[in-house]
Amino acid sequence: MNRIKGKGTCIDCGRQLTKDEIALNKKLISLNLMEFRCLDCLCVSFGCDVEDLKIKIAEFKEQGCTLFI
Ligand SMILES: [Zn+2]
């Protein structure tokens, strides 16, 4: 039996994602995105620091972005 890959896990490392991480994926890449990455794997693909992504999340929350509620 194949296990269906859950929507809430990182496609690279399989780690369980938080709502914020999924929202950030959508915000930065595409609203229709079906594959998500955790902050660690995202920053590898973007070539930035995890801290940069955390700042982004905080900024989007401050802007009242509905994805992060
Ligand atoms: Zn990951």
Distance 69 CA to ligand 1 centre (A): 22
For the stretch 9-26, pLDDT in tens is 999 999 999 999 999 999
Rounded Cα distance, 35 and 61, in Å: 22
* Token pair for 4: 């269906």
Distance 11 CA to ligand 1 centre (A): 7
Distance 50 CA to ligand 1 centre (A): 12
Q: What is the mean pLDDT of residues 52-64?
A: 97
* Token pair for 39: 């902050």
Residue 16 phi/psi, 5° resolution?
A: -65, 130
Q: What is the mean pLDDT of residues 42-48?
A: 95
Q: How confident is the model at residue 1 (pLDDT cuts 50, 70, 90)?
A: very low
Residue 36 phi/psi, 5° resolution?
A: -120, 155
Q: How confident is the model at residue 69 (pLDDT cuts 50, 70, 90)?
A: confident
Rounded Cα distance, 20 and 52, in Å: 14
